[in-house]
Structure 1
Amino acid sequence: MTSELSGTTALVTGATSGIGRATAIALARLGANVLVSGRDETRGERVVKEIRAAGGQALFLAGELKDAASARALARRAKQEAGQVDVLVNNAGIFPFGPTEQTTEDEFEAVYSLNVKAPYFLVAELAPDMAARGRGAIINVTTMAAELGAAGMSLYGSSKAALTLLTKAWAAEYGPRGVRVNAVSPGPTRTEGTSGTPGAEDDLNALAAAGPAGRPGTAEEIASAIVFLATDGAGFMHGAVVPVDGGRTAV
């Protein structure tokens, strides 16, 4: 364990699997006390156990982010458990694909509630405290689908495009008071959710093949960029949206 983030507390949403899990482990490796948030207690405790076994600090906070109240409740519990939150990683999200005309209002509400409303009110609850201390880092996880027009991605892509704009707006709002707000924009990434079936694996590989890297990324590769934005090495970065997509949006 190194100590670059020693003495800090990081709250990671959607941290029980995939990119969130990899991020939680990587933050703990740098010395952060990590609050692992998610819906599945069994998977969450497994991540906590893994971090502690490696000498790190972690605690699982159960929470289903579905509205402003649940987001604020998670933030308040995080502050109650740890005293303060120094790093917030807004990673939790859902990514349904499909034709616009087949999208129901309930599906629309579910996507925007988790992908937009939850991060919004987590920031509303935690950023003012960071600003009062004059220091903090918020990292939003968006997607390359927020940058490209693609059939079937209107709902997911638009929700993450909103988070991209929020990243810049929050940087302008809280940056002058010491809070750095940035985002990481993953491309095709192999996780439990994107490659769990043969068809999904084929789609993932086909999408990744169009980029210079020619392959899907790993959760750990995305996490490394997120963690960098949480450290002082990114001290001059505000409102940046960092593409970690194998070059997919560059060509």
Structure 2
Amino acid sequence: MNARLAGRTALVTGSTDGIGVGIAQALAAEGANVVVSGRNAERGAQVVKSIADKGGQARFVAADLGDGEGARALAEAAGPVDVLVNNAALLIMPQPTGEVAEELVDRALATNIKAAFLLTGLIAPAMAARGGGAIVNLGSVNGFNGSAQSALYSMTKAAVHSLTKSWAAEYGPGGVRVNTVAPGPTRTPRNAGVMDHIEPLIARTPSRRMGTPEEVGAAVVFLASDEAANIHGATLSVDGGLAAV
């Protein structure tokens, strides 16, 4: 096992499925003690086992980040954190803006933006007080580019990109680095159900393929590690070149 993150505790929100699992496993493979979080305890236990089976360290903390109380409870249960990965996001199926229910708008804002906002406010000052840390936010190619029938999701991810820059300015002087990883179409169980929406994107992606959770995890590891010590407020696209073209 490598050890770029040995001795560090990493909290990964929304890490019981999809990209979050790949991130948690990648961090653990580099020696981090990973706090896996999500709403489903059974899936959380499976992720913890997958990490332990490869010699890594992980534990599960149940968390529903739909409100402020959930964020505060997770921050307390996680304890001192050296790496925070704001990955939790609500699955939003493509649909016309005029047909999006107001309740879904509220849930998306709460999960995709408010949870990261509150957790960062709770955790980043404590990181600075201990001498520093790293925060990696999960954005999206949708945070750069317009996409028909994806206005709600794109709005939340554009907000995440903006928060990264603001937090880099706010917390960087205290030794806390804040950056974004922005995936493109990624092969996950969730995305399997919207391939009719994704396939046109792949057709114009330079790589001509979907990414994998493991590739996103590798980017998160880099930004969390000392190799990225002078990188603040950056967005690293893991999208096969889609945003570039």
| TM-score over 0.5 for the pair | yes
The alignment partner of 2:113 has SS state of helix
TM-score, with normalisation over the residues of structure 2?
Answer: 0.97
Note the C-alpha offset of 1:175: 0.3
Deviations 1:55-95 (A, max 9, x none): 1110000111101221111011101xxxx100000111024
What is residue 197 of structure 2 aligned with on the other side?
Answer: 203
Match of 2:90 in 1: 94
CA shift for structure 1 position 53: 1.2
Unaligned runs of 5+ in 2: none
How far, CA to CA, are the matches of 1:24 and 1:11 in structure 2? 8
SS of residue paired to 1:61: strand
Give yes or no for contact 1:22–1:220 (8 Å, CA) kept in 2.
yes
The residue number in structure 2 matching 1:212 is: 206
Counterparts of 1:74 and 1:148, CA distance in 2: 32
Amino acid at match of 1:216: M
Corresponding residue to 2:126 among 107, 120, 129: 129
Distance 1:208 1:230 in 2: 28
1:85 aligns with 2:81: yes
RMSD: 1.0
How far did 1:194 drift? 0.3
2:102 to 105, 112, 116: 105
The aligned residue for residue 43 of structure 1 is 43
Equivalenced residue count is 244
Q: Distance in 1 between matches of 2:61 and 2:188?
A: 22
Post-superposition offset of 1:18: 1.2
TM-score normalised by L of structure 1:
0.95
Task: Give yes or no for the alignment of 1:21 onto 2:18.
Answer: no
Describe how 1:146-157 pairs up with structure 2 within 5 A: 146-157=143-154
- SS of corresponding position for 2:59: strand
Output the CA distance in 2 between the equivalents of 1:4 and 1:93: 27
Q: Provide the residue aligned with 2:73 in structure 1.
A: 73
Written as runs of structure 1 = structure 2, the 5 A alignment for 1:161-176 is: 161-176=158-173
1:73 alignment partner, SS class = helix
CA distance in 1, matches of 2:17, 2:147: 26
Distance 1:223 1:206 in 2: 25
Unaligned runs of 5+ in 1: none
Q: Which residue of 1 aligns with 2:180?
A: 183
| Distance in 1 between residues matched to 2:28 and 2:168, nearest whole Å | 25
Q: Is the aligned partner of 1:230 residue 2:227?
A: no
Does 1:160 find its partner at 2:157? yes
In 2, Cα distance between the equivalents of 1:5 and 1:222? 17
In structure 2, the partner of 1:246 is: 240
Structure 1 residue 4, shift from structure 2 partner: 1.5
CA distance, structure 2, for counterparts of residue 10 and residue 218 of structure 1 = 21
**SS state of the match for residue 250, structure 1?**
coil
Counterpart AA for 1:78: A
- Give the CA deviation at 1:227: 1.1
CA offsets 1:79-134 (integer angstroms, 9 cap, x no match): 1xxxx100000111024121111112111000000000000000011000001112
Deviates more, 1:67-76 or 1:117-126: 67-76
Task: Among all aligned residue pairs of Structure 1 and Structure 2, give the percentage whose two residues are the same amino acid.
Answer: 51
Deviations 1:190-217 (A, max 9, x none): 101101x4xx234323311211001111
